[in-house]
Amino acid sequence: MSDNLNIKLLKQHAAILETALQTVNNVSKSITEEAAALDAELAPVQDATDALAACERAQERARFAEAKLSNAVADLRFVMAGGDPCRVCAVKCTFGEGNCKPVWRGEAGADL
């Protein structure tokens, strides 16, 4: 009779272990599915973060271009108001040597 009891206990333990293994597999599957869903939820956030970084880089380039344009307009107004163009010329020359090479030569066909 003791053998029958041992066999029943072994079957019961095997059933409990099978149930526990199935529960662990179900929980593992559920966690994997939740992780995949979370990754899918976070993908737009990463895309938005990348877009925000690209936007910030574009704004920085725009600020740089705006500063250069502002300087160019200021230089142009200075020269048009009768200022010395050599002060704003990018090619520095020694006065009086005749090797001055102005950056701007005027419009094509304009009378000088």
The 10s digit of each residue's pLDDT in 58-105 is: 889 888 888 888 888 888 888 788 877 777 766 666 665 656 665 555
Distance (Å, rounded) from C-alpha 32 to C-alpha 21?
A: 16
Residue 91 contacts residue 101 (beta carbons within 8 Å)? yes
Which stretches within the chain are classed as H helix? 2-80
35/1: higher pLDDT: 35
pTM: 0.44
